Amino acid sequence: MAISILRHILSFIMLAGLQVLILNGLDINSYVNPQVFILFLLLLPVNTEIWICILLGFITGGIVDGLANTYGIHAFAGTALGYFRYFYIKYTLDKEEIERDMTPNIRNMPRSWHLFYILISTILYHCLVFFLESFTFTGLGSLTLKAFSSGLIAVGIMLLVGFLFSRKTTNV
Q: Is pLDDT above 60 for 1? A: no
Residue from 63, 36, 78, 61 nearest 164 by CA: 36
Give residue-wise pLDDT tens across range 106-133. 888 888 999 999 999 999 999 999 999 8
Domain ranges of the chain: 2-165
What architecture does CATH give domain 2-165?
Orthogonal Bundle (1.10)
Q: What is the mean pLDDT of the chain?
A: 86
What confidence score (pLDDT) does residue 29 get?
65
